[in-house]
């Protein structure tokens, strides 16, 4: 193959590409670990790489995001730097840092009755007097409990299992119908995996289907991160390059299979002893996992290819578990109210609640559900990236060195993950920072950063306000590297805050429910788990009437997946919940634009 050779360090991945290929596309082809939140649009400035040979002159977009010292050191944006000759590229070390991914969530008590079961049988060995075929012998022991149409793999395994086990075998069942057979008594070892596929992160848990115990947990950043931060970026990638469906599908499948391997090794459980996965994900991630084109979700009227729960053989999605293992994908409500929200409603038991409750899940998108056993209604709002530390100039995921706590009490106090030197700001940090700046008056009700005129009585934090070129508040400055909150960052937080609050208020208004009638506010996901309530109150992210009613339920998507893995009744309820939730489109709400604008203000009571 002709072309130029690009090597990516530190993993030493090499790929040959045609001249003129962007380094971002080369990194994707090489499978290199590089994030591209804006999917190569040149607007986020996050896909930084360092060219170890002579670098070309920077692109205009790079001048907007990179400092003079970075450019001099050969740092470029992978989406704007092209491979004109063979090169060695150093990827940022931050990508290898341990990320803090929320894996725990609310799990209510329920009776264990999994879909997957095992039945140990001791069969009489064949003889000339009893010479019926193997399948009839098994059917006789099961009192005729065999399906007329058995999987071919079952028939293929049966003779060997019977003879290897001395006619003592364990039949594996799904909904009490045989799907596999194993030699000997393996009834004590029966496992499943619950998976939460988020746009940003993936979490998996190994579950003992006999006891209900969680034996191990593993997580990773979603391997599709190089194709954009949000689902729309990934859908746009598919529209531009339809063949990318295979790539995106393979990435998430391989990622989940890697997590299964980690779980298996951690708990000393063989892959062949894992019989089912239960997967909760937003609609786009479910489509991509199953290899179904999600293009319909990306444009009005935002229609997914399917919303019902789906059960497929694990081998068809490339997962190495038991050869007859199954994968169950929980149902969705709509294109933007996915199975992860259905799982959260199941975990919070909102469909059985006598009182009115509110569920808010803020990830890279925001979903809000309001209601009770009498009915549930949902809406979706574009709220998440800024609150996850993305779309922020110095933003980053929750990893070591991320600023996660900010306090301005005369002097500035910062807290970082792992107490490491600050390298960026994560979601809870940007909320804290903006809230503290509002508290001390550095940000006004309109969201504008204060510009000092020299007439104010000097305060210790005033020295951190800068307006040379752009308005910003400097949180940390070490070795010439500045971590700051810019005016643009404040606007991003305002937009996210306005989306959440206006979504809540329009939902209650459309349903004729007063804020005082809400008895519980369930906050799902890492957003609510790490952020301070005081900061949410100061910014007005939630109405003050709701703050004392907040219940943090953690990773409820994983919890719901566990429930459907362990209980056929809960699985049926998940299907019923998905059919029960009504979807309300915010843009159709009269006066929504005015309401959204009002909700942008940082002045308490503006809404």
Candidate ranges 24-28, 456-460, 602-606; pick with highest mean pLDDT: 24-28
Question: Quick one: pLDDT band at residue 43, thresholds 50, 70, 90?
Answer: confident
Q: How far is CA 96 from the centre of its chain?
A: 18
Q: Which token pair is 375?
A: 């009915």
Q: How far apart are CA 61 and CA 25, in angstroms?
A: 17
pLDDT for the residue 606 = 43
Over residues 300-314, mean pLDDT = 93
Mean pLDDT of the 310-331 span:
96
Q: Which residue has the higher pLDDT, 35 or 374?
A: 374
| Distance separating alpha carbons of residues 27 and 51, to the nearest angstrom | 13
| Average pLDDT of span 569-588 | 93
Using alpha carbons, list the distances in angstroms from residue 239 to 23, 229, 295.
21, 16, 7
Domain ranges within the chain, ordered by starting residue: 4-95, 116-183, 191-329, 351-383+502-599, 386-491
The least confident of 66-70, 98-102, 231-235, 321-325 is 98-102
For the cut 90, the answer to whether the pLDDT of residue 291 exceeds it is yes
Question: Does 94 have pLDDT greater than 50?
Answer: no
- pLDDT class for 607, splitting at 50, 70, 90? very low
Mean pLDDT (whole number) for 541-545: 78
Q: Per residue, what are the HEC states of 489-515? A: HHHHHHHHHHHHHHHHHHHHHHHCCCH
285, containing H or E segment: helix 283-290
Please determine, for residue 147, whether its predicted confidence score (pLDDT) is greater than 70.
no
Mean pLDDT of 12-31: 86
Domain 4-95 and domain 351-383+502-599, same fold? Reply is no
Question: Two tokens at 211?
Answer: 């006891």
In this prediction, residues 508-519 reach a mean pLDDT of: 92
Q: Would you list the DSSP string of 69-83?
A: HHHHTTEEETTT-EE
| CA triple 213-218-221, angle to 5 deg | 145
Which structure tokens are listed for 157? Answer: 């395994």
- Count each helix (H run) and each strand (E run) in the chain, helices first: 18, 28
Q: Which of 6-15, 291-300, 303-312, 439-448 has the lowest mean pLDDT?
A: 6-15
CATH for the 116-183 domain, from 3.30.300.30, 3.90.1170.50, 3.10.20.880, 3.30.1490.190: 3.10.20.880
Q: What is the mean pLDDT of residues 218-243?
A: 88
The DSSP code for 175 is T
Instruction: Name which residue leads in pLDDT, 65 or 163.
Output: 163
Q: What is the pLDDT of residues 153-200, one digit of tens each?
A: 888 999 999 999 999 999 999 998 899 999 999 999 999 999 999 988
What per-residue confidence (pLDDT) applies to 304?
95
State the fold for domain 4-95: Ubiquitin-like (UB roll) (3.10.20)
Burial degree of 443 (CB within 10 A; 0-12, 13-18, 19+): buried
Element at 126 (helix H, strand E)? none
Give the best-scoring range by mean pLDDT among 93-102, 278-287, 532-541: 278-287
Question: Residue 339: enclosing H or E segment and its boundaries?
Answer: helix 339-348
DSSP state of 455: -
The neighbour count for residue 212, using CB atoms within 10 Å, is: 17
3-state DSSP assignment of residue 65: helix
* Residues 78, 91 contacting (CB under 8 angstroms): no
CA distance 414 to 492: 21
Query: What average pLDDT does the structure give for the chain?
Result: 88
Q: Per the structure block, which two tokens stand in for 46?
A: 């996050």
> What is the architecture, at CATH level 2, of domain 191-329?
2-Layer Sandwich (3.30)
Q: Are 582 and 376 in contact (CB under 8 A)?
A: yes
CA nearest 577: which of 369, 335, 296?
A: 369
Beta bridge partners of 473: 465, 485
CB-count burial class (<10 Å; 0-12, 13-18, 19+) for 380:
buried
Q: Where are the alpha helices (DSSP H) in 291-338?
A: none
Q: Give the residue-averaged pLDDT of 473-483.
A: 85
Is the predicted pLDDT of residue 67 greater than 80, yes or no? no
Percentage, residues of the chain above pLDDT 70: 94
Q: Tell me the range of 9-23, 198-212, 352-366, 462-476 where mean pLDDT is highest.
A: 198-212
Of 403, 427, 433, the closest CA to residue 417 belongs to 403
* pLDDT number for residue 384: 60
Name which of 31-35, 207-211, 446-450, 548-552 the model is least confident about: 31-35
Pairing of strands 550-554, 518-524: parallel
pTM: 0.83
Check residue 359 and give its pLDDT: 94
pLDDT, mean of residues 391-415: 86
Fold annotation for 351-383+502-599: Nucleotidyltransferase; domain 5 (3.30.420)
Window from 107-121, 201-215, 355-369 with minimum mean pLDDT: 355-369
The tokens of 345 are what? 């409603």
As a three-state string, the secondary structure of 533-595 is HHHHHHHCCCCHHHHCCEEEEECHHHHHHHHHHHEHHHHHHHHHHHHHEEECCHHHCCCHHHH
């Amino acid at each position: 193959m002709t072309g130029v050779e690009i090597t990516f360090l530190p993993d030493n991945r090499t790929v040959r590409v045609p001249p003129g290929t962007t380094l971002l596309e080369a990194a994707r082809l090489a499978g290199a670990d590089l994030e591209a939140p804006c999917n190569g649009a040149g607007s986020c400035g996050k896909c930084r790489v360092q060219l170890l040979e002579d670098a070309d002159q920077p692109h205009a977009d790079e001048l907007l995001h990179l400092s003079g010292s970075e450019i001099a050191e050969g740092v470029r944006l992978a989406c704007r730097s092209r491979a004109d000759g063979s090169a060695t590229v150093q990827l940022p070390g931050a990508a290898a840092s341990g990320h803090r991914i929320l894996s725990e969530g609310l799990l209510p008590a329920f009776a264990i009755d999994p879909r997957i079961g095992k039945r140990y049988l001791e069969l009489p060995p064949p003889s000339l007097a009893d010479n019926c075929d193997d399948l009839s012998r098994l059917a006789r022991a099961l009192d005729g409990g065999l399906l007329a149409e058995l999987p071919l793999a079952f028939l293929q395994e049966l003779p060997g299992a019977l003879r290897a086990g001395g006619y003592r075998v364990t039949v594996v069942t799904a909904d009490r119908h045989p799907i596999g057979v194993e030699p000997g008594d393996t009834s004590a070892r029966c496992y499943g995996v619950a998976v939460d596929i988020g746009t940003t992160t993936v979490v998996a848990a190994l579950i003992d289907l006999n006891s209900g115990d969680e034996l191990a947990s593993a997580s990773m950043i979603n391997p599709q991160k190089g194709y954009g931060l949000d689902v729309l970026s990934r859908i746009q990638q598919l529209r531009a390059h339809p063949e990318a469906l295979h790539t995106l599908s393979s990435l998430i499948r391989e990622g989940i299979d890697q997590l299964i391997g980690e779980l298996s090794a951690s708990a000393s459980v063989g892959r062949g002893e894992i019989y089912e996965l239960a997967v909760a994900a937003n609609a786009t991630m479910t489509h991509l996992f199953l290899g179904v084109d999600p293009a319909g979700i990306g444009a009005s009227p935002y229609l997914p290819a399917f919303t019902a729960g789906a059960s497929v053989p694990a081998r068809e999605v490339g997962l190495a578990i038991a050869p007859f293992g199954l994968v169950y994908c929980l149902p969705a409500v709509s294109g933007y109210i996915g199975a992860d929200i259905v799982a959260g409603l199941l975990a919070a038991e909102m469909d059985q609640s006598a009182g009115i409750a509110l569920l808010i899940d803020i990830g890279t998108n925001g979903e809000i559900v309001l209601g009770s056993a009498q009915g549930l209604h949902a809406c979706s709002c574009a709220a998440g990236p800024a609150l996850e530390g993305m779309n922020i100039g110095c933003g980053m995921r929750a990893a070591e060195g991320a600023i996660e706590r900010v306090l301005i009490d005369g002097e500035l106090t910062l807290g970082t993950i792992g107490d490491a030197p600050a390298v960026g700001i994560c979601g809870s940090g940007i909320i804290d920072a903006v809230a503290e700046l509002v508290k001390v008056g550095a940000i006004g009700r309109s969201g504008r950063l204060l510009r000092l005129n020299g007439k104010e009585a000097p305060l210790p934090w005033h020295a951190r306000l800068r307006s040379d070129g752009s308005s910003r508040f400097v949180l940390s400055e070490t070795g010439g590297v500045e971590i700051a909150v810019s005016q643009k960052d404040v606007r991003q937080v305002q937009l996210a805050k306005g989306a959440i609050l206006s979504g809540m208020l329009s939902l209650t208004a459309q349903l004729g429910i007063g804020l005082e009638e809400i008895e519980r506010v369930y906050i799902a996901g890492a957003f609510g788990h790490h952020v301070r309530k005081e900061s949410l109150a100061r910014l007005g992210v939630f109405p003050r009437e709701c703050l004392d009613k907040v219940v943090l339920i953690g990773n409820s998507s994983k919890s719901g997946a566990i429930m459907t893995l362990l209980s056929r009744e809960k699985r049926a309820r998940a299907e019923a919940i998905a059919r029960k939730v009504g979807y309300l489109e915010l843009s159709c709400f009269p006066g929504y634009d005015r309401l959204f604008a009002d909700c942008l203000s940082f002045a308490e009571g503006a809404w």
